[in-house]
Structure 1
Amino acid sequence: MTQVTRRPPFGEDSPVRQRTVQAGGLEVPILEAGSGPLVVFLHGFPDHAASWAGILERIAQEGYWAVAPAQRGYWPGGAAPDGSYNIVSTGQDVLTLIEALGRDEADVVGHDFGAAAAYTAATLDPKRVRKLVTMSGPPGRQLMNALVSDGDQQRRSWYMFFFQSAMAEAAVAHDDFAFIDRLWREWSPGYELPDAERTALKETLAAPGVLTEVLGYYRQLFTPPADEATQSLLARAFGAITVPSLYLHGAEDNCFSVELSDGMDDLFTNSFERVVIPGAGHFPHVEQPKAVADHIVGFLNS
């Protein structure tokens, strides 16, 4: 039986390598393993690229080049060059990274805000995204409708509105990021993030300047871009998805309920499959890494 190993501190014996890549005006830190067709893994919040480590190893064993970049803002010196954290910018980051890695196309896997970037990359340039895997975050149109009309989802998404306040940085960082511990407990009931992984995540968020940049994703979430060109791209990003797609959602997700993804197949014009992962909350790639890796491998190899 194939296992998925989890080890965020990357020692000399780890097949996961670390380096930086010049892309989009930034020196982007990446984790990578293997060689072959490119598969890009995009993290969300509150998370970081290291949470993909075990799955990178598994995907590499299957003959792929698995790469997990840090999303813009998630490292010192990684602030968005244009100040933008909207999905147009993060989606374009995906396409820029594919080019920077010397490839014409890639399979793209995204979780949470990483899913939003993955959807956008696939709608902005579907020729560059061969297959799409997203999890724990339906397409933007689906989510925005819920935030307007679904009282239960509004209650679950209280943090999005709190992050608009000036006190958010202090509140999140207080007491060794107890706020982050609370989100993980609430969003993935019954799951406890191992101490080493919890420490590594908090070190990412505590690095100079990172927390303010990360909150920028939320502070720009409800603000339409001012320029017409970006508005046009944003409209495209909310359009139909034309590449073969797989969607995964944890059955116990208490951030975005599994019901939020009901009916999302209408937004996909190519092959589409939705899979609910038993025993997983909002972070299925961390909570049930073998099940998630099996689904990804089966989809990529199909």
Structure 2
Amino acid sequence: MDEPGFIDVAAPGVTLRVLTWGPPDAPIALCLHGFPDTAHGWRKVAPLLVDAGWRVVAPFMRGYAPSSLASDGSYHIGALMDDALRVLDAAGPTGRDVFIGHDWGAIAGAGLAAMPDSPFTKAVIMSVPMPASFQPLGRVPDAGRLATQIPRQLLRSWYIMYFQLPWLPERSAKWVVPRLWRQWSPGYRADEDVRHVEEAIGAPDRWRAALGYYRAAVRNTKPPAQYAELHSHWLSAPRMPTLYLHGLGDGCASADYAHWVERVLPEGSAVALVERAGHFLQLEQPEAVARHIVDFIGRPSG
């Protein structure tokens, strides 16, 4: 397949560079990347989705070059949701569009899947369980089984608390990024992907923006008013048919969490665990991931 094209989308507070694959009149599969990754992380799955009849549209998330920094300073989940909706509008919605979110894209995707009157017809959430899976606190089914996950998860999630520290995290990009790729997807050679990440968030102001996602979420700061309504949805259960994918070898979050995800999914949803894949399953097992996705979202021309 040819190299992707691109469009630039002006959203409130940010200009987003968006990679595109496939014919401009096909239904859209809007793909949202996470951390520490870029829109290039969809490069292996995109051709397979295009072959199935989809147009793949993948923005660099706000703060990730060549998208701009957020001039409004917001890296809240509601802002990420708003960006996704602006990208869909700019790309040309068809009424048959879907979204696919990985890591932070999955967190934003949880909100998009829960919002009423969504312009999307189906959702694919990858590698990060939607928060509704573990609600309400204190009354989650199989609470004992879930509790056994907590000690190991705290160790896996060391970076989240580390990112809350002053001064030190801002000087850590060069060792944190490759370490997380090794930890989260053991055995995957991530040299090319790490180079893409360095180009996107290697500069100090860009790295600070990437840290801003974690700081806004953990500190529960209030989003700007224009994102508040969207932001309110991300803790809710999905309303649309949703496919949840998780790599069995994920070193970021256990694939066992799929047990709790399954209980909050609406009718028409599905869960699949991908063998020989870690956190970045779309890069490690693109054929298997694309097959699961196409089986779920269908072939528009079929």
Task: Give the TM bin, normalised by the shorter chain.
Answer: 0.7 to 0.9
Aligned match for 1:280, one of 265, 271, 277: 277
**How many Å separate the matches in 1 of 2:49 and 2:30?**
11
Q: Which moved more, 1:136-145 or 1:249-258?
A: 136-145
8 Å Cα contact 2:237/2:264 also seen in 1: yes
One-letter identity of the residue aligned with 2:9? V
8 Å Cα contact 2:133/2:264 also seen in 1: no
> What corresponds to 1:220 in structure 2?
216
8 Å Cα contact 1:122/1:128 also seen in 2: no
Does residue 1:42 correspond to 2:38, yes or no? no
8 Å Cα contact 1:43/1:110 also seen in 2: yes
Q: Which moved more, 1:227-236 or 1:264-273?
A: 227-236
> What corresponds to 1:22 in structure 2?
10
**How many Å separate the matches in 2 of 1:139 and 1:296?**
18
Gaps of 5+ in 2: 138-145
**How many Å separate the matches in 2 of 1:95 and 1:32?**
16
Q: How does 1:153-192 map to 2 (within 5 A)?
A: 153-166=153-166, 167-172=168-173, 177-192=174-189
Does residue 1:264 correspond to 2:261, yes or no? yes
**3-state SS of paired residue (2:44):** helix
Gaps of 5+ in 1: 1-12
One-letter identity of the residue aligned with 1:22? A
> What corresponds to 1:9 in structure 2?
none
Q: How many residues align?
A: 285
Q: Select the structure with the greater relative contact order (CA < 8 A; seq sep ≥ 6).
A: 2
Provide the TM-score with structure 1 as the length reference: 0.86
One-letter identity of the residue aligned with 2:169? A
Does residue 1:210 correspond to 2:193, yes or no? no
8 Å Cα contact 1:20/1:28 also seen in 2: yes
Provide the TM-score with structure 2 as the length reference: 0.86
8 Å Cα contact 1:188/1:254 also seen in 2: yes
> What corresponds to 1:8 in structure 2?
none
Between the aligned residues of both structures, percent identity stands at 34
One-letter identity of the residue aligned with 1:290? E
With over 3 angstroms needed to count, the CA separation of the structure-2 counterparts of 1:284 and 1:228, relative to structure 1, is closer
Q: How does 1:61-140 map to 2 (within 5 A)?
A: 61-75=51-65, 78-103=68-93, 105=95, 106-140=97-131
Shift of 1:208: 5.7
One-letter identity of the residue aligned with 1:75? A
Shift of 1:104: 5.5
Runs (4+) off by over 3 Å = 141-147, 225-235
Cα-Cα RMSD:
2.5
Deviations 1:167-203 (A, max 9, x none): 101022xxxx23211111111122221x333322222
8 Å Cα contact 2:184/2:251 also seen in 1: yes
With over 3 angstroms needed to count, the CA separation of the structure-2 counterparts of 1:208 and 1:151, relative to structure 1, is closer
